[in-house]
Structure 1
Amino acid sequence: MPPNDTNGTTNGVEAPKPASLIESTSQYRHWRFSQRQLRDIRHASNVAAVERVKANVKEEQSAHDEEERPDQAVEYLNWDDERLLVRFYAQRLQEFCRVLKFSDTVRATSITFLKRFYLHNTVMDYHPKDILYACLFLATKVENEVMPLDDFASKLRIADVQSVLSMEFTVCQGIKFEFTIQHPIRPCRGFFLDMQHSTSDTKALREIYNAAHNLILSSLLTDLCFLYQAPQIALACLQKAASLQHSDIVDKYIETRLLNTSDTSASTEPGRLAKSDLQRVLKDIQEVLDKDENVSMDVARQLDRRLRICQNPAKNPESALYKKRQAEKEAAENEKRRQKAKTEERATVPVETVETAEGELPMAEL
């Protein structure tokens, strides 16, 4: 092994910096985007879905011998319509978790699963009302708060219990089998404990922490989990909660514990940012929280009515196209099995036998 130079290089080549714990997570590597990237992904997914559904609708109409409707007669959902509908069902997940008294961690994980799933999938293929139960049930397993499926279905009044299990694997595929989620809940608790060493006003600090925790629960419904790291979201919520209570506890903590004294130099200590960088990130997060609004039931109903017209018939078990493709799939599988059996039969060579006093024996044994 070549010796290391005193300045941290190997034979004159600078050694790569080790990744931080956050940078090594699948969340950072696969589920972190810029605003533009997030918009482009959703737009591309929506455009591809609309073209796919249009083709399948025409095939469905042909299977029924129906007269084709002109494309302009169908108002397909755009990417922002899809985002709003998914947001509404994320709000429903919040309500379900309160009713079933699941922890905030289960709430956060189930909502994140839902948002990740629809980043690369479309509501025109999978209606959110069919996906959200699977997301919640899967989250209870991931966070070790498993509830028996029958009890789960009974409390949420799910008529078809097996539909939860049937969609579970689809959800796992949609989230790329990456189940570990880094939420702002835990770092918020960590900041709260650390700040107790820098202030004597623990009552005010507790009130700030409780308010920040509620802000974090609201942030779960936004796109912040795709844009920023969990500790950054937690700190922004703490700072916002403190400012609402006219307290400088969090600002003092940030200044003394988390910031470099120099605003122009790069960070020299792991985990520290230049003041302007951190304050800009915190401000951007707080602006998202300030502008965030829930999706009303009326808006969701309007979107759902439009969705009924433009749902993908290839995903509907009651459609003629679905039944046709299933029949074709079964026929192909039967033909494959028949060909395999035929090949095996040809490969079997009959063994010659001869008669003896003890009966017939194979030639190989004589």
Structure 2
Amino acid sequence: MYPTSSQRKYWTFSNEQEIQALRLKQNQDYIEKHGADMDPQTRLHFFLTPEEERLLLKQYELHLRDFCKRFDPPMPRCIIGTAFHYFKRFYLHNSPMDFHPKEILATCVYLSCKVEEFNVSIGQFVGNIKGDRLKAMDIILSNELLLMQQLNYYLTVHNPYRPIEGFLIDIKTRCSMANPERLRPGIDEFVDKTFLTDACLLYSPSQIALAAVLHAASKEQENLDSYVTESLFHSAQNKLPVLVEAVRKIRTMVRILDFPPKDRVKAIEKKLDKCRNQENNPDSQIYKQRMKKMMCEEDDIDLDSSYHLAATDSSIDGSLMNISQS
């Protein structure tokens, strides 16, 4: 399924440079739009740099992971994976200065619950959010359509969990390893860390799954090299070098994973409060006025509809009389 999926076609990239170029473009486009009247030095101090955006998004990826892990009722792991995909995809085409990550984060998880058929109401969902839950509900529901639009409505996500189950079954069948189930803790830990990297935007779910299995096996002092070469790729040796390189790079990405310094992130968030797009800030007067205007327009549409319905009541009654007489 993955080779013919929208994920493979539209959301899997050739290299990290391609991803960084997309993120850099969003940063530059936002600054050009909102800082047209500023000199270069003022722009530098007022707006977030690409590096500051990177650190900010990394911090909110940690928040996303923690929110999902403490969610009540407990979430299936596939929801966490799908939410991470949505979050990363959204910020390939948007700057965090335009849409604050704390608001998009919750919307990504909520949409993921729907797509993965985890049946929780919006009331249950915001019950897991600290603070003003009514406000959180409004923000999530307001951003849901925006998120789907920015994902181009490609909502199906292929996570590494199914390939992992396949590998474990195959290892039990064709490998002499004792109790392969003991690999699960190491596999789960590794996959969780891959979502804090860009691996899911660069590699297939099966490549990430195999990297996780091999990593967990090495932690258990098990060697699965012969299983990979003789069982998995016995009849496709020409594909082996590409796989080995992909697995090596995924494991390297996880190994060099860094976490943003908390004091640096606090400074970035203070800077973001000043340079964010106030039209998308639920606490700003501009946003509140825009929402009020939209609600008034919707009320006008409803009134117009009611008027047209009332104006045609007699014709409707006539039609019903004709039906009853026939």
Task: Give yes or no for TM over 0.5.
Answer: yes
Kept after mapping to 1: 8 A contact 2:171/2:177? no
Report the structure number with the largest CA radius of gyration: 1
CA-atom RMSD, angstroms?
A: 3.0
Equivalence for 1:49: 30
Provide the C-alpha distance between the structure 2 equivalents of 1:255 and 1:298, rounded to a whole number of angstroms.
47
Q: How does 1:151-300 map to 2 (within 5 A)?
A: 151-159=124-132, 160=135, 161-203=137-179, 205-248=180-223, 250-260=224-234, 267=236, 273-300=238-265
Distance in 2 separating the partners of 1:209 and 1:329: 50
CA 1:149–1:37: 2 relative to 1, 3 Å: same
Give unmatched runs, 5+ long, in structure 2. 302-326
Query: % of aligned pairs identical?
Result: 27
**Are residues 320 and 154 of structure 1, via their aligned partners in 2, closer, same or farther at CA, if it must alter by over 3 Å?**
closer
Q: Does 1:90 align with 2:90?
A: no
User: Tell me, which stretches of 5 or more residues in structure 1 are unaligned?
Assistant: 1-20, 59-67, 262-266, 338-366
Q: Which residue is equivalent to 2:42?
A: 71
Normalising by structure 1, we get a TM-score of: 0.73
**How far 1:320 moved relative to its partner?**
6.6
| Distance in 2 of aligned mates of 1:69 and 1:328 | 35
Cα deviation code 1:325-356 (max 9, x no counterpart): 8899999x89xx9xxxxxxxxxxxxxxxxxxx
Residues 1:26 and 2:26 are matched in the alignment: no
Taking the TM superposition and a 5 Å limit, the aligned residue runs for 1:123-142 are: 123-142=96-115
Distance in 1 between residues matched to 2:129 and 2:282, nearest whole Å:
23
Per-residue deviation, 1:315? 2.7
Distance in 1, matches of 2:288 and 2:185, equals: 53
Displacement of 1:319 after TM fit? Answer: 5.1
Q: Distance in 2 between matches of 1:29 and 1:84?
A: 28
| Alignment check: 8 A CA contact 1:236 1:285 kept | yes
Q: Structure 2: how far apart are the matches of 1:116 and 1:158?
A: 27
> Which residue is equivalent to 1:18?
none
Q: Distance in 1 between matches of 2:295 and 2:68?
A: 40
Q: Where in structure 1 do 4 or more consecutive aligned residues deviate above 6 Å?
A: 323-331
1:183/1:230 contact within 8 Å kept: yes
Residues 208 and 162 (structure 1), Cα distance of their counterparts in 2 relative to 1, 3 Å cut: same
Could you say if the C-alpha distance between residues 165 and 72 of structure 1 is closer, same or farther in structure 2, counting changes exceeding 3 Å? closer
Residue 78 of structure 2: aligned partner = 105
Question: What are the Cα deviations for residues 261-300 of structure 1, in whole angstroms up to 9, with x where unaligned?
Answer: 7xxxxx5xxxx65332221111111111110123343332
CA contact (8 A) 1:188 1:213 kept: no
Tell me which of 76, 79, 92 is aligned to 1:119.
Answer: 92
